Amino acid sequence: MEWKFLQLNAPIYLDNNATTPMDPDVLTAMTPYFLNKFGNAASRNHSFGCEAAGAVEDARQQIAKLIGADVREIIFTSGATEAVNLAIKGVAESTFYADKGRHIVTVRTEHKAVLDTCAWLETKGWHVTYLPVDEFGLIGLKQLEAAITDQTVLVCVMHANNETGVIQPIQEIATLCKHRGTLFFTDATQSVGKQLLDVDDFGIDLLAMSAHKMYGPKGVGVLFVRRRKPRVRCEAMIHGGGHERGMRSGTLNVPGIIGMGAVATLCRQNMGTEQQRIRNLRDELQRGLSDRISGIVINGSVEHRLVNTLNISIEGIDSEVLMENIPDIAVSSSSACTSAALQPSHVLAAMGRSDGHIAGSIRFSLGRFTTAIEIAKTVEAFAAAVNSLR
């Protein structure tokens, strides 16, 4: 049976965990640095370069304020994936930790950037412990404590999961790591800008983030690397000039960095009111779908999740078929970074979900520009499509 939902007046975008539309104010801040302010930030012997360098440092300060960091702890990268690689490989390759051991602890539900990097280190002689999660997607602190040994150099636990939105107790995790004398790294790509996160209050040693997940440009990210208590050593993965405190060489993406600084300021200003508005819309979406469609199961913790994320499975429905029948609503059936591989969600599998359950999973992720009208239309469209397919 072929069925297509009546075309909507305009496409509806509910895939903000994959990427966000750029805020127009961010583009306004970036535009001069594509045109007349085009200097290389490393060319400080003339006004063009000095102007670019000054703007980069202003952006570095804006980003540092967002996460409560020292400006010197902000290292610019091409995005979160590079930041993750630099954090994990950089610590692993540092001679400072050579006598400590060759053991890393992470979680089965981490982003592939973490899992694939850890798998690569295993080929180099490192031992990696992959912690399980419970049915709600949460790790057990006692299991983590038992996994840390005297040889553990690094613990990697993401703050918020990209597929389910589940938030791990990273403050407690960081405290445990400090007591055991190991470094703590968190991939905070999905949470930075969406909710309060202070690296000092939370006890984070390394943190990865990306501009395009919070209404900024693609192609720019940040790795936070703690300078004191403890000072974290991170070996460079890219060489060629010693930029970014010697950790990441290469000409800086000045327009992208300016954009990331601008969006960091916008997030700080709007986070409180924006959180509540998006939570209300997410809850309305959840209620509407549950009222109109039978056999819905929410994937992940309801209490500990991002305010913008709703991951559900619909009994007896294949999500790929359902999405084909609602082409004007952009959602995701798995993480955007792995969907091209057409593999079942490793996150839901780690939570003990069945193959059929995983096949029926859909992630809705709302954002700054999501409206109440769009939520109402989405509920109507999904209810009609599911009922027709059944």
The domain that holds 170 is classified in CATH as: 3.40.640.10
Q: Containing domain of residue 235, as a range?
A: 24-266
Residues 69, 35, single domain; the answer is yes
State the pLDDT at residue 338. 54
Residues 253, 357, single domain; the answer is no
In this prediction the pTM is 0.94
Residues 33, 166, single domain; the answer is yes
Assigned domain for 88 exists: yes
State the pLDDT at residue 194. 94
Q: What are phi and psi of 298, to 5 degrees?
A: -85, 130
State the pLDDT at residue 177. 98
Residues of the chain with pLDDT under 70: 1-9, 334-342
Supply the angle between the helices 372-389 and 254-292 in degrees, to the nearest 10.
Answer: 50
State the pLDDT at residue 142. 97
DSSP helix/strand/coil, 171 = helix
Residues 183-213: b if buried by 16+ CB within 10 A, e if exposed: bbbbbbbbbbbbbebebeebbbbbbbbbbbb
State the pLDDT at residue 266. 97
Residues 194, 343, single domain; the answer is no
Residues 361-388: b if buried by 16+ CB within 10 A, e if exposed: bbbbbbbbebeeebbebbbebbebbbee
State the pLDDT at residue 368. 96
State the pLDDT at residue 3. 35
Assigned domain for 280 exists: yes
Residues tagged active-site:
337
State the pLDDT at residue 4. 41
The answer to whether the beta carbons of residues 214 and 194 sit under 8 Å apart is: yes
Residues 49, 197, single domain; the answer is yes
Assigned domain for 287 exists: yes
State the pLDDT at residue 8. 57
Residues 142, 231, single domain; the answer is yes
Query: Do β-strands 221-225 and 296-298 pair in parallel, antiparallel, or remain unpaired?
Result: unpaired
- Smallest CA-to-CA distance from 105 within 121, 124, 83, 86 is with 121
Residues 113, 38, single domain; the answer is yes
Assigned domain for 245 exists: yes
The answer to whether the beta carbons of residues 20 and 257 sit under 8 Å apart is: no
Distance of alpha carbon 205 from alpha carbon 231, whole angstroms? 8
Counted domains in the chain: 2
State the pLDDT at residue 339. 52
- Interior angle at CA 285, CA 283 and CA 286, nearest 5: 65
Residue with token string 């939902």: 5
Q: What is the pLDDT of residues 19-75, one digit of tens each?
A: 999 999 999 999 999 999 999 998 989 999 999 999 999 999 999 999 999 999 999
